[in-house]
Chains A and B, each alone.
Chain A
Amino acid sequence: MKKLVALLLTAMMLLGVVGMSAETAVHPVGGEIIYGSSTEISGDWSHGAIWTNNATDNMIRGLMNDYDTIVFNDGGALVVNDSTAESVTWEDNEDGTKTFTVKIAEDLVFNDGTPITAQHYLASLLLFNHPTLITLGSKSTGYLTYVGGDAYKTGEATAFSGARLIDEYTYSLTVVEEKLPYFYDLSYASLSPLSINMWLGSTYSVADDGEGAYIVGDMAVGTLAFKIAEARFLSEGRVTAGPYNLVSYDKGAKQAVLEINPLYKGKFDGQKPSVQKIIVVKAEDATQFDALKTGEINLISALTGGDDVNAALDIVAGGGFDTVTFERAGYGKLMFQCDFGPTQFLNVRHAIAHLLDRPEFANTFTGGYGGVVHGPYGLAMWMYQDGEEELSERLNTYPYSLEDAVKLLEEDGWVLGEDGQPWVSGLRYKEVTEEEAGEYKHNITVGDKVLMPLIIEWSSSEGNTVSELLVTMLAENPDVASAGFEIRQNIMTFAELLNYMYRDKSVGEQYGVPTYGMYNLASNFNPIYDQSYSWTLDPELVEQGYNVNFLFDEQLDKLSMDMVYGVNADDPDTYLKIWIDYIVRWNELLPEVPLYSNIYYTIFFDKLHGYAQNPYWGFENAIVYSWIE
């Protein structure tokens, strides 16, 4: 019976694939879409965020470059790109390193018709990690991942020993021992082809004499500085390999025009684009909906907040437009520093969570287009979806309750008044040890006792609407005062907030002193969910700015490290188990209080069909599966 069901399912899947192919085939190529971007295009088209990391640039780069050998699918999972990689194999070496061997397809070409070989794939690693490019400002850190990278980057070795050119269509990469095992290690096998001719010139090439791959040609800074700068910003005639070609970029008007690359082989599943032309323009918050109505832009991506979403929905109700919605892979939060002052005490952190009506906060802030999470995850994550049942049983939701908050405080010893007598009303105090007292500036001494008041110094960035709502719903909440708290808001620039958060003495001695116990910020998660080192106990790493919560919990640290460095890539069940344990432990320790997780809306004209976006599948991917009627 099982076999029969399996057979039927297989048959249905095949039919589905055939159906999908047939569906793809019937969409005629044509039409154009004007993408209204919230950030300005900078015009730096270099592969990845080598120099700049602007969201719209990244989106356009994604439209132009899509021949990586390993890519993310629409669920945020790493998959081999079957269009570009014929095979990806790996071998664990005796010295603890791991070698990935990738054979690329032989029919790949750049948009100018030039054949793509393994040389072009290796060129991206060799060029951006070359000492010359490092001098010219390349931010690539690929050299840290592969054997021989350090020597190559410093110029000690001319060849990159961990990167090998096996034959015309095969390359291999050997990963250093320190980065293994790694749950996402397949990402180490990924490279993206780069036109050697465009970036360096026709006389350059990649070779391997048995010691590792290297670039053949003059790599002096003086020779390359101008050429590299030119290649970064080259718009017309740019040689790339992706679903779209950059046709033009107007620096004055900040508009980019892209058209279908007829030589594109397809995405990892063979999908080719149907929308002929994409125009990217800058849209302003104040006028973007007017521009949408008049047809000056056709799509605005990832709208959030009640005002914008309601405006978008009004336009949809008027006809001619559609929307897609998706949940944010991230959240706004209250972050605690847990090594000094009242926030070092677990019960205080729990009490604060109980004194904030988070569902109401999320509802008010997002205008009803968002929700609450109870740990460091997004609702769209496969881990959350697979582990939702278990999480709902094990996670504390910290419901709004003055009684619970008071009980927690009393259990923790916050039972004294300013005079050292039992607390009746006003600010609560707790008798603390010398170690607990630390240098907290509000401590007082009564007799031989050191008393710590329940004053929370809160750092919030200026012009922040979340902060404004927190003032109303938390700092000035009468229940907070009646519980014995005082929450003091300190408004500063975001840069200064970061100085305090990282305790960065390099920009001022005052920042090195623990000052604020609470910050409001936001976090987003990548498809590679890697929280390693976030809870490190290593003082050196803490000094460098890791573990900004200053929460030193061995279990949490171990779970965050084991989740990615203790699990093989082919063992998602173990990964999921550790992930759930990590979320539960985090939820117990509560180093942060999640405030809201938005629901995003993308609005577009109704001539566009088949458009499906999610946090891991942005416009650059979704548009390839869409068509215009």
Chain B
Amino acid sequence: MSGLWPVQALTSYHLTRRCFRQERSVTQVKKYIALRFVYIIFVFLIISLLMFMLYNQIPTDPARMELEPVRRELKPAEYQELYLRLREQLGLDDPLLMRYGRWMGILPEKNGSWNGLLQGNFGYSNFYKKPVIDVIPEPMFNTVFINIFATIMALGITIPLGIRTAVKKNTRFDGTVQVISVVGYSVPVFIISLVFIYFFAVIFRIFPVMGMKTPGTNYTGLRFVVDRLYYLALPLIVLTFASLGGMTRYVRAAMIESLSMDYVRTARAKGLREKTVIYSHAWRNALLPVITVVIGWFIGIFSGSVIIENTFSLNGMGKLYIDGLNNLDYELVLAMQMFYTIISLVGILITDLSYGLVDPRVRVNK
């Protein structure tokens, strides 16, 4: 027995026990994360193998496809020479598993070097004729630039709007927002884009129709940002408008459920201010279902919007992906898919961990 007072001793015991529990909890979380990472690696390898096999099962000859446009300009000997050379360069004559091994970096190249995905080589774009790693940065930068603004704008509008419509449930305000959000949710983004272009770019000439910068300029610094934002304003407005409906309705539904709970009634009965009831009690509890979608949105900042990018002539990831598929540029597409696989798997892990942060009831099992 130590020389401490019994209460102090008891407190110390509880503190030690809590610390021990916390330590155990941290260890468990670390173990859980480590296990999830092993799972991520395993799933990644399985998906990579499946995707590689899938693309290579498509009955096409990339060498022939590449030479098709210039076929008439080549004599038979020239064609055959080029064709065979291309097949060799593309490694089309090797067995599929060997090609996978080389692509992944678990088998050496013909010259004995190790140069695959695991070594940081994302492959070679057969369409752009340069390494994939040199093709992706600009579209990725543009996509992230657009999506960060679009996500912040959309969340900044939809969360307060969703909360307000839930609080003002069945009022005229709620009804109006419901109708607008259903329209925004239902109308294809392509149509929204064209309507917005017609009014804001062609009729009122507020924004440009397309492109990413003032033609012929080479702005830097703040002027670059301002010019870029001016050109991206309309696509951002369209993206935000198109995403308003879904998120607003999602937040509204979560809030309505939360507001009907007993703890909200209790909080009101205690005489708490309505704002405190809504934001500290109801909203925090409504966050759990919403957070999955919100994290999904932030993970989605790496994914481009095919329709928006094509309509506004933006050089982004969605367009690059579709172009890659159309051009049968499989190494480019595979690299992008592997990137998105990693992002998705890590995103799921972050979502799972965030549940624990938001809701104390959700914890890693002992």
Contacts and interface: CB of A to CB of B under 8 A. Distances in A.
B64 A504 contact: yes
A286 B210 CA distance: 10
A185 interface: no
B69 A32 contact: no
Interface string A294-311: 101000000000000000
Contact of B70 (A32, A49, A544): A49
Contacts of B260: none
Nearest to A142: B78
B199 to A, nearest CB: 11
B110 interface: no
B128 interface: yes
B89 to A, nearest CB: 6
B74 interface: yes
Interface stretch (B18-26, B161-169, B282-290, B306-314): B306-314
Contacts of A493: 60
A383 interface: no
A414 B297 CA distance: 65
A250 B60 contact: no
Say whether chain B's binding surface is mostly helix, strand, loop, or mixed: helix
A34 interface: yes
Contact of A287 (B64, B210, B215): B210
A164 interface: no
Contacts of A254: 212, 315
B260 to A, nearest CB: 46
B129 A290 contact: no
A141 interface: yes
B352 interface: no
B274 interface: no
A141 B78 contact: yes
Given A53-B70, A141-B81, A511 B59 contact: yes
A254 B319 CA distance: 13
B180 to A, nearest CB: 25
Interface in A492-546: 493, 495-496, 498-499, 502, 504, 506-508, 511, 526, 528, 530, 532-533, 536, 541, 544-546
Contacts of A282: 211, 313, 315
Interface in A458-512: 493, 495-496, 498-499, 502, 504, 506-508, 511
Contact of A294 (B58, B72, B205): B205
A291 B205 CA distance: 11
B149 interface: no
Give the interface residue-count category, chain A. Answer: 35 or more
A538 to B, nearest CB: 8
Nearest to B202: A290
Given A248-B218, A252-B315, A496 B60 contact: yes
B94 interface: no
Given A137-B89, A139-B82, A253-B212, A530 B64 contact: no
Given A291-B210, A498-B68, A546-B76, A279 B311 contact: no
B65 A498 contact: yes
B77 interface: yes
Given A144-B77, A286-B311, A291-B210, A495 B202 contact: no
A52 interface: yes
Interface string B67-106: 0111111111111111101000100000000000000000
Contacts of A53: 69-70
B246 interface: no
A294 B201 contact: yes
A293 B311 contact: no
B359 interface: no
A284 B60 contact: no
A53 B128 CA distance: 10
Taking each of A51, A281, A283, which has the highest tally of chain B beta carbons within 10 Å of its own beta carbon?
A281
A145 to B, nearest CB: 9
B257 interface: no
B331 to A, nearest CB: 14
Nearest to B316: A252
B209 A291 contact: yes
A424 to B, nearest CB: 42
A297 to B, nearest CB: 8
B351 to A, nearest CB: 31
Give the interface residue-count category, chain B. Answer: 35 or more
Contacts of A253: 211-213, 315
A294 B311 contact: no
Contacts of B218: 248, 250
Contacts of A252: 138, 141-142, 212, 315
B244 interface: no
A333 B23 CA distance: 75
A509 to B, nearest CB: 11
A134 B82 CA distance: 10
A508 B76 contact: no
B6 interface: no
B59 A499 contact: yes
Contacts of A51: 129
A504 B210 CA distance: 42
Interface in A540-556: 541, 544-546
B197 interface: yes
B209 A294 contact: yes
Contacts of B71: 545
Contacts of B323: 40
A257 interface: yes
A53 B216 CA distance: 25
Nearest to B212: A253
B209 A496 contact: no
Interface string A386-427: 000000000000000000000000000000000000000000
A77 to B, nearest CB: 17
B346 interface: no
B202 A279 contact: no
B173 interface: no
B208 interface: yes
Nearest to B78: A141
25 contacts: A32-B216, A52-B128, A141-B74, A141-B78, A179-B75, A233-B130, A254-B315, A255-B211, A255-B215, A277-B216, A281-B313, A282-B315, A283-B210, A284-B310, A284-B313, A287-B313, A294-B202, A495-B59, A495-B61, A495-B65, A495-B328, A506-B61, A526-B72, A533-B75, A546-B76
Give the 9 A-B residue pairs with the shortest CB-CB distance, closest first.
A495-B60, A253-B212, A51-B129, A141-B78, A252-B138, A291-B209, A279-B215, A279-B216, A290-B209
Given A141-B74, A257-B216, 15 more contacts: A51-B129, A52-B127, A53-B69, A53-B70, A144-B78, A255-B211, A281-B215, A282-B211, A286-B190, A286-B311, A287-B197, A290-B209, A293-B202, A495-B58, A496-B59
Interface of B: 58-61, 64-65, 68-83, 85, 89, 127-130, 138, 141-142, 190, 194, 197-198, 201-202, 205, 208-213, 215-216, 218, 310-313, 315, 323, 328
Interface of A: 32, 34, 40, 42, 44, 49, 51-53, 134, 137, 139, 141, 144, 179, 229, 233, 248, 250-255, 257, 277, 279, 281-284, 286-287, 290-291, 293-294, 296, 493, 495-496, 498-499, 502, 504, 506-508, 511, 526, 528, 530, 532-533, 536, 541, 544-546
